[in-house]
Structure 1
Amino acid sequence: MVHGYGGNPLWQFIYQVGPLLRRFNLFIPDLLFSGRSYSKSPLRSDLFQAKCLLNGLGKLGVDRFSLYASSYVGFVEYRMAEMRPDVVERMVIMSSGLLYSDEQRAAQLKEIGRHPTEILVPKKPNDLRLLVKLSMCKENALNWVPDFFIRQFITVSSMLHIPPLMYDHCRKEKVELANYLVEKKADTNLPAIPQETLIIWGEHDKVFPLELAFKLQRHLVSSSRLEIIKNAGHAANMESPDEINNLLFQVDHPF
């Protein structure tokens, strides 16, 4: 299980770890510049993140595994599967715009009217509220949370001896990651990986439109299955965790 951009697994998988531990042996690493994970390398690509995760899991003695990731980390996950098909058995890709075109990205950025780093690496309470609004299709609970609490969520790097939490931790590096994502050209020659792949998508995803889910399924042909989560947005794992968990329980069965 690999958490999404900007946050960490402490909150992104809060509704999933307990149930999934009953069935799977879970490894839940921190991506670079999240938690206590850090690198002195100037590289910020999804390929570099993929190599780091593969090396880390290898050092832990994990020689065969399945992957579950969402959004930005779907790019990282895909690179891992592409590089090491002998190691990555199955894939679960959730709401990841792997086949997003440059034109689609430009149109969406124009519609949002903000630079992505202001949203992906928020500084102010309203920045984080906008991020949640884009990620969820249901009522934004942060509208009712006081600003001072949200500021702590953004800026506090350690609370009750929990490892570094949110956006002010390695802010410079997180901004560099976000800039790489925005500036990189769409991969028009994305290879079709051989692994069985479960594609999960929120019906009302406002970050990566649902049409990208069908496009990815067609790209992977017979090795993939698409499940659409009703009444959920980009962060379907937060809005419909039980439904996602039930789908993950089926991953060890052939598609």
Structure 2
Amino acid sequence: MERLRLFLHHILSFHISLASTISHYLFSPFSKIRRFPIITPISEWFLSVYFKFACNLIQCTVDLDDQTTMHFLAPAHRRFNKPNLVMIHGYGGNSKWQFVYQVASLAESFNVYIPDLLFFGKSYSNRANRTEAFQAECVAAGLRRLGVERCSIYAISYGGFVCYRMAEMHPELVEKAVIVSSGVGCTQSQKGEQMKNVGIDVLDLLLPRTPVGMKRLVELSVHKSNPLRWAPDFVLEEFIDVSALNGNSICFHVDDVKVNVGSIVDYVDAFIFDDDKTMCNTNRKEKQELVEHLLANSEKCKVQPLSQEILLVWGDKDKIFPLNFAYELQRNLGPKASLEILRDAGHAVNFDSPDSLNDLIKGFILE
């Protein structure tokens, strides 16, 4: 099944890239006017429709206080005979892009809740706290506002840090946890050594400004199927430009499938008439501070055993957090932690082996 998916993915990616390139050159006489983005907003719209009709998820926004807002994909109709599963994303776009290969299958077995972490997607806070513990508190508070009293968590990469803190601080909320390819608990020396091995500044890696940087991030993360293999640079530039604006700049509401016209007008003004604004992400500074906090040498990063059962899942070809990170994290979490290693998968197991990962998640949580 995964081989068929990968094959279809390659074919689809090639044809979309080919069509995009042809359309780009058809409009080349207007190259002096900066192109209004089309591909990324349309892709976001299709994803929103897909999550609503294929996955039974709707978008909702929760105001935690007068300074913090959390955005969720949540069940349109919660089934009380299904357990709740919270899916927490890592760096690299919002939650819809990262979980697109998994949600439909998981939604058959769970009531799925997918938050945008603070400063990603449409979640934002004016507070100065940049810790994963604050992220965890906000996710937990948002879930309670949505009526979730017990849940399991599946989290990848940076989301694993948030998941660990949620399980640690809210054992009454978190029943089980699946952490995938995450550097939870790694020491300062491990961080420094791994950054040398990767050979790229971590901020440049996680927050790329150019198509070259974005391709480099994907090449390091994905082992089997590089989704950007055929993507022309102008498409990646558009994605970076759109991502560089606040998550609320373009607002597609999946319930009534309408566009926030006022925001579009502001966006056009910024995109066409001001080169600086498009690459000046209002959230970029905050995202940098999130990374800087993780890189800081802090005793609070030490991992203690949790009361919940924990499943760790790693790709054997992970170039970001190699397998020795997985073995050490398993030891630190204690006897309630188990480890599953997926062959021929990189850091982004959710892209390389989504079906196998879903099977592990279902088997662990539903057993």
**Would you call these one fold, judging by a TM-score over 0.5?**
yes
- The answer to whether 1:78 aligns with 2:164 is yes
Tell me which residue corresponds to 1:233: 346
1:9 maps to which of 74, 79, 95: 95
Residues 124, 151 of structure 1: 8 Å contact kept: yes
Corresponding position: 1:175 with 2:288: yes
RMSD: 2.1
1:141, CA displacement in angstroms?
4.2
Counterpart secondary structure, 1:142: coil
Code of the aligned partner of 1:36: K
Shift of 1:85: 0.8
Amino acid at match of 2:113: F
The alignment status of 1:45 with 2:131, answered yes or no, reads yes
Q: Which has the higher helix share?
A: 2
Does 2:327 align with 1:190? no
Partner residue of 1:126 out of 212, 222, 225: 212
Q: Give the drift of 1:234.
A: 0.4
Picking from 174, 183, 191, the partner of 1:88 is 174
User: Which of 138, 161, 171 is matched with 2:252 structurally?
Assistant: 161
CA shift in 2, pair 1:160/1:189, >3 Å: closer
SS at match of 1:197: strand
Contact 1:217 1:225 in 2 (8 A): yes
Distance 1:96 1:35 in 2: 21
Q: 1:74 to 1:160 in 2, by over 3 A?
A: closer
Unaligned stretches of 5+ residues in structure 2: 1-86, 244-248, 254-258, 264-278
Question: How far apart, in 1, do the equivalents of 2:240 and 2:95 lie?
Answer: 15
Paired with 2:303 and 2:176, the residues of 1 have a C-alpha distance of 18
Partner of 1:244: 357
Distance 1:116 1:54 in 2: 28
Are residues 1:101 and 2:187 paired?
yes
Moved more, 189-198 or 83-92: 189-198
For the residues of structure 2 that align with 1:45 and 1:76, how far apart are their CA atoms?
Answer: 9
Q: 1:82 to 1:231 in 2, by over 3 A?
A: same
In structure 1, C-alpha distance between the alignment counterparts of 2:301 and 2:205, rounded to whole Å: 27
> How far does residue 186 in structure 1 lie from its aligned partner after superposition?
6.3
Quick check: 2:140–2:166 contact (8 Å CA) kept in 1?
A: yes
Output one character per residue of 1:203-240: Cα deviation in whole Å (capped at 9) or x when no partner: 11111110111122222332122110100000001110
Cα distance in 2 for residues equivalent to 1:234 and 1:7 = 15
The unaligned stretches of length 5 or more in structure 1 are: none
State the distance in 1 between where 2:343 and 2:331 align.
21
- The question of whether the paired residues in 2 share the 8 Å contact of 1:99 and 1:187 is answered with no
Once residues 251 and 127 of structure 2 are traced to their aligned partners in structure 1, the CA distance between those partners, rounded to angstroms, is 30
1:66-103 deviations in Å (ceiling 9; x for gaps): 01101111111100100111110000000111131211
From 117, 130, 134, the counterpart of 1:31: 117
Paired residues, what number? 252
Give the structure with the higher percent strand. 2
Does the CA-based 8 Å contact 1:201-1:227 persist in structure 2? yes
How far did 1:160 drift?
8.6
Matched, 1:207 2:320: yes
- Quote the residue 2:154 is aligned against: 68
- Report if the CA contact (8 A) 1:6-1:174 is conserved: no
1:137 matches 2:223 = yes
Do the aligned residues in 2 keep the contact of 1:91 with 1:195 (CA within 8 Å)? yes
Q: Is the 8 A contact 2:185 2:329 kept in 1?
A: yes
CA shift in 2, pair 1:180/1:126, >3 Å: same
